Chains A and B, each alone.
Chain A
Amino acid sequence: MTETPNPVAFTAERLAKVKEVIARYPEGRQKSALLPVLHIAQEQWGWVSSEVMDYVAEILSIEPVEVYEVASFYTMYHLDPVGKHVIEYCRTGPCCLMGGEEIYDYLKQKLGIQAGQTTADGLFTIKEVECLAACGWGPVFQIREQFYMNLTRQRVDEIIEELSK
């Protein structure tokens, strides 16, 4: 890394993790680390801005456009700022069979926002996602790494209350 102070930089701990990830792949195949490194970046900044992507490109010695292409292809990377908690709900068939649509409408009504929006206090963002491989336990939310399953209105109330603290 250069000596120039850079506003975009991984914490020492995360940078060590990034280096460890890069070392997993054969020589010259460091681009393979792109998806995991973007996850680490999102963990640190909450979303991936173009500056962050440029920084990731530099670390992996690839062109910035290679990062943009990839980050915009996969749905997990937030390319715009998001709230503190991103609630991703599964909108696919099996979850809907289990009353998902009603639960998600309730969530949207409760937070007063639509999917893709963030609450005014910046606390919650709702995103619609496709199947989360938890069909037998639907309806399902994913918030960061945590799965919330078999949702009911009451459970939604509890989750929001817990996260609002």
Chain B
Amino acid sequence: MEEVKPQLIKITFDGIEVEVEPGTTIMQAARKIAEADESQGHLVPPAMCYYKPLPTSGGKCRACLVRVAAGSAKDPRPMPKLVPSCITQVQEGMIVENTTNPAVLDTRKSIVEFLLINHPLDCPVCDQAGECHLQDFSFEHGSVKTRYEEDRRTFDKIDIGPFVQLHMTRCILCYRCVYTADQITDKRVHGVMNRGDASEISTYIEKAIDNDFSGNVIDVCPVGALTDKTYRFKSRVWFSKPEDAHCDCDKCSGKVTLWYRGDEVIRVTARKNMWGEVNEFICNKCRFERKKTSDWVIEGPTKVKRSSVISANKYSKNLIAKPEFSLKLAATQFKPIGDEREYTTDIETVRHQSIENNDKANHRSLLTDNRN
């Protein structure tokens, strides 16, 4: 029997045509565009609950709602409501509007608002800060001000097992950790209790989540609700340096990312793709117990998006190639700046002005520092 390749389906997403296999979701089609051309990354709908490695996830947070302007070539009527792109399958000739539709962006703004009204906004003391999807989501789509005046929902922090802390106040109820426990571990002991805005992730009675793969709930959590107790308050993520490494593990693939501060491994996580999704789930032994460089074979620095705070000041400039597109763009868009103001080119004067400004802001003298 000759293998018949399924015919590809062509859709238009924000004016860009893309061909995908039947059964693909709108979200995956959009990601395909961005994977081919990184500069189109901003077109991809945000995902707060959807997580590709966890089948059946998605459809809950409504962050990825898009407008289908034409359902298919056969039936080109628009869909009456915005649809969740993460679980809606494409049809031949479908036309989807995401960033090109103001109603979509307006709705997305309100989803940020809904997710934040009961969020503590304690980013300054949250271990997730810097790699938090909610932070990114609200930075990209949120408002500066909140209209919410009432009390926020709060819960006590609880330890679920020796390695994982549950900070329910931060949770956005994406259900990813529940699916992880269902699909990755052999037994689920935590779940969603109560309902409505009183819903909470819990074990109900005090119980440890104790099995070989339980640590993965930390990696899938989009916010700082489930955090690694062995890493608690050790460092801000942007001060640590990720390195890919592997080991010979009898339980999992052993492919991990080690997070260094100086020479010390302060954290071990699974490797993630450009959408923040785990490539391969790792076992608790790799995650929590192998914290010496000698436990691992180092492969080299983890590829981190240039836009990520994690990449800040870590690599020599050529390690990560600058996208060709932006260079081209810069070359074509370059315009000489017509600035008529008076300015000085004398380096010493500029430096002194800068130091003065800094002094005013920081109340400390850079001059003294510089002398040393």
Contacts and interface: CB of A to CB of B under 8 A. Distances in A.
Partners in one complex: yes
B188 interface: yes
**A50, A64, A66, A68 pick with most chain B CB within 10 angstroms:** A68
A50 B203 CA distance: 11
Interface in B185-205: 187-195, 202-205
Interface of B is mostly: loop
A65 B203 contact: yes
A63 interface: yes
Interface string A39-54: 0000000000010000
A85 B202 CA distance: 30
Interface in B46-101: none
B194 A73 contact: yes
Given A50-B204, A50-B205, A69 B192 contact: yes
A49 to B, nearest CB: 10
A64 B195 CA distance: 18
Contacts of B195: 72-73
A130 to B, nearest CB: 12
Interface size range on B against A: 10 to 19
Majority secondary structure, A binding face: helix
A68 B204 contact: yes
B204 A72 contact: yes
Nearest to B181: A65
- B188, B189, B205: most-surrounded residue (chain A CB, <10 A): B205
Contact of B188 (A50, A65, A72, A73): A65
A69 B193 contact: yes
B234 to A, nearest CB: 31
A42 B297 CA distance: 57
A63 B192 CA distance: 14
Contacts of A66: 188, 191
A72 B203 contact: no
B213 to A, nearest CB: 16
Contacts of A50: 204-205
A66 B203 CA distance: 10
Contacts of A73: 193-195
Q: Kindly list the 8 A-B residue pairs having the minimum CB-CB distance in the complex, ordered from nearest.
A: A68-B204, A72-B193, A69-B191, A65-B191, A50-B205, A73-B195, A72-B194, A65-B189
Given A63-B189, A65-B203, A72-B193, 7 more contacts: A50-B204, A50-B205, A64-B189, A65-B191, A65-B204, A66-B191, A73-B195
Interface of A: 50, 63-66, 68-69, 72-73
